[in-house]
Chain A
Amino acid sequence: MKKFKEIKSIAAYIDRKNIDTDAIIPKQYLKAVTREGFGEALFDDWRYLEPGNLGDNHALRKKNPEFFLHDPKNEGAQILIAGDNFGCGSSREHAVWALMDYGFNVVISSSFADIFYNNCFKNGLLPIVLNDSNMDKLISNVNKKNNIYMISLENQLIKCDDLEIKFKIDNRRKEVLIKGIDDISETLKLSDKIKEYENIKAVKTPWMFNG
């Protein structure tokens, strides 16, 4: 996984709560067998005025001009700000792949659904949780003018002119992103312990190993 570096970017804000993973990437795109190319279908139902499908040339589809991603001021944003309970619903990791493929590296919300939150760290997407008052501060700043935000995971800081917001993140998650750690290799270092566990349990509760 690639390492998470400091981000300098404008931020795009979508004023909506409970954005579910079906909305982030609709089901017809889940038929793909690779991880790439989902960015053009990010928020597909909201973003285009006509239905789309896997394999379409999305450039030819009619865009919804009112959708926030089509607002010129949001062009090139690497930071997405959204309402409460972002990423709820289906476990599809495609949602994270779509956000990243589009170009987002950070998502900020007052809360995230558990599975989505987990999936972010497997792919190098930084989800930042802010309390309501910091959310309000940030959103009013975004609404005022097209600012560039600096996001440092190292210092757990969002900065823009005078605005400075610290955020919390647990150490392990932080390390995973900063070092680009591959969880599988880490776990395999404990292979002996896993085997030992299996040997004991296979005797004690053999039925747990049915199949």
Chain B
Amino acid sequence: MKKTLYDKLWDEHHIYSYDNGYSLIYINKHLIHEVTSPQAFEGLKQAGRSIWRKKSVMAVPDHNVPTTLREAGIKDPISKIQVDALNKNCKTNDLLKFDLEDIRQGIVHVVGPEQGIILPGMTVVCGDSHTSTHGALAALAFGIGTSEVEHVLATQCLLQKKSLNMNIKVNGKMPEYFYSKDLALLIISQIGTAGGTGYAIEYTGNAIRDLSMEARMTLCNMTIEAGATTGLVAVDEKTISYVENKPYSPKGENFSSAKKYWENLTSDNDALYDKIIDIDISESSPMITWGTSPEMAVGIDGKLPSLDDERFSSKRQDLLNAFSYMGLKEKQSVNSIELDKIFIGSCTNSRIEDLRIVADIVKNKKIANNIKSAIIVPGSGLVKEKAENEGLDKIFTKSGFEWRSPGCSMCLGMNDDKLNEYERCASTSNRNFEGRQGRLGRTHLVSPATAAAAAIHGHFVDVRDM
């Protein structure tokens, strides 16, 4: 039988089939952060159970942590309790953790691959839906709830039903200033936020092969916004050279034998998919979301939908809700939208390549006067260090950006970084839900390039015209 990449990963980790369609799947790597783990550790303790394989865990605080004045520690007492709980749980159980003071600390989905803790062919889970990020390394990775975190801690396994296979074939040459973030938004706007529900999505096609590893991570990261818990890209030379020489990746002979294994992590020719979607991107424009769901997206040169448009007839109420929440009108052109804040960061777009793109655009320019705050939050301490070695931080601060310490920050606003009521933000994060970045805050999801251009102009502009 010809197998897809997903089939191969599934089979390799399959331990047992129950007669009701469920399987027991082995989990290699378990990433943990402070928000979704405390109740799992508590549950484990109450049941008197221990952790099955301690070395499978990597923990890092990221959601709650301050991005300024790190030395002063966490001011918010409630956030502190949560981070302290993570510290305590990791200490008692002897688990690998990167502390706030450690240069390796950062957003869990940036840190894992950066350390070589995530490798092709692994199964990876985390109590966080953006675990799909790691599929860029051809790892079977998906987000789980807290009860499942407890289940994996206790058993190293999960009960799963196999997903269907979807192949999104992306062909054509990536246009200038069109990035994998734009591609993700384009796909979601076409298939919808539930379009991938029940599927594992594999991205194939020449445009995907052309993407860098970091760009692939951005795309797989956003897969969950299309409803699929897993996004995958097959192994190629880029994958292998990415994982080579990372702190936790295999070395010497071990590397060679792993490499042989990894090279097989591609879908067989003529493998069968349950659904195939073809996309040609040669003519695509940079994307921006205008509404309160990632599928509400248009090209930067486009307009907001019309309420009379028949394609939206069943969604009329949703459009009205979104227009009203976002303070926008139908048929408005997006590049006239004025902004208050700029956020560059999150597990979607906070890696070094993202920061280089931003630096390229803002170099020797100043952010517009109407922008109240523009922050850049690197994905990890190591990304931060690299950016500083390249002098990017100087470019940012000279332009008027704030250069912060790593964490989730304004992606979800659990720390001090958030939107105030009715503030409008160009954000490189992944969710524009109501209140996501702060109560009544208005989020527009864009690529780092489009966010950078908007910072300079104070409103959205087509970055291709700059």
Contact = CB atoms under 8 A, between A and B. Distances in A.
A171 B431 CA distance: 34
Given A23-B434, A93-B145, A190-B16, A211 B29 contact: yes
Contacts of B15: 190, 193-194, 197
B249 A210 contact: yes
Contacts of A18: 193-194, 293, 318
Given A18-B193, A122-B148, A27 B36 contact: no
Interface string A56-98: 0000000000000000000000000000110011111110100
B64 interface: yes
Interface string B155-192: 11101010000000000000000000000000000000
B49 to A, nearest CB: 7
B361 interface: no
Interface stretch (A142-150, A156-164, A181-189): A181-189
A23 B39 contact: no
A31 B26 CA distance: 30
A105 interface: no
Nearest to A90: B129
A197 to B, nearest CB: 5
Interface string A12-39: 0001111010110011101101110000
Contacts of B431: 20, 22, 89-90
A119 B127 CA distance: 11
Interface residues of B, number: 81
A45 B64 contact: no
A85 B193 contact: yes
A27 B412 contact: yes
B182 to A, nearest CB: 21
Interface in B121-137: 121-122, 127-129
Which of A91, A119, A194 lies at the interface centre, i.e. has the most chain B CB atoms within 10 A of its CB?
A91
Contacts of A90: 128-129, 412, 431
A30 B415 CA distance: 12
B179 to A, nearest CB: 23
Nearest to B412: A27
B194 A211 contact: no
A17 B314 CA distance: 11
A178 B267 CA distance: 40
A188 B39 CA distance: 20
B28 interface: yes
A122 B152 CA distance: 13
A115 B229 contact: yes
Contacts of B248: 210-211
B198 interface: yes
B82 A31 contact: yes
A19 to B, nearest CB: 10
Which of A33, A34, A194 lies at the interface centre, i.e. has the most chain B CB atoms within 10 A of its CB?
A33
A187 B28 contact: no
A34 to B, nearest CB: 7
A23 B433 contact: yes
B148 A118 contact: yes
Looking at chain A, what size class is its interface with the partner chain?
35 or more
Given A114-B227, A197-B26, A184 B155 contact: yes
A207 B249 contact: yes
A28 B413 CA distance: 8
A22 B443 CA distance: 14
Given A85-B194, A88-B227, A187-B24, A55 B78 contact: yes
Contacts of A94: 146
Given A172-B20, A194-B155, A34 B79 contact: no
Nearest to A54: B78
Which of A26, A28, A171, A184 lies at the interface centre, i.e. has the most chain B CB atoms within 10 A of its CB?
A184
B227 A115 contact: no
B227 A92 contact: no
Nearest to B35: A30
B193 A93 contact: no
B57 A211 contact: yes
A92 B145 CA distance: 6
A3 B148 CA distance: 19
Contact of B42 (A34, A88, A172): A34
A103 interface: no
B439 A45 contact: yes
B82 A33 contact: yes
B266 interface: no
Nearest to B156: A194
Given A170-B20, A210-B117, A33 B55 contact: no
A70 B146 CA distance: 30
Which of B47, B121, B129 lies at the interface centre, i.e. has the most chain A CB atoms within 10 A of its CB?
B129
B284 interface: no
A184 B49 CA distance: 10
Given A31-B79, A55-B78, A172-B22, A96 B155 contact: no
Contact of A210 (B150, B194, B250): B250
Given A88-B227, A91-B128, A113-B227, A26 B145 contact: no
A17 B78 contact: no
Contacts of A54: 78
Interface string A101-115: 000000000010111
10 contacts: A22-B436, A23-B435, A119-B145, A123-B147, A184-B47, A194-B156, A198-B53, A207-B258, A210-B55, A210-B116
Given A28-B414, A30-B414, 11 more contacts: A18-B193, A27-B414, A33-B38, A90-B129, A90-B431, A91-B128, A91-B145, A115-B229, A193-B15, A210-B55, A210-B119
Q: Which 5 A-B pairs give the minimum distances between C-beta atoms?
A: A122-B147, A119-B145, A172-B20, A93-B145, A33-B38
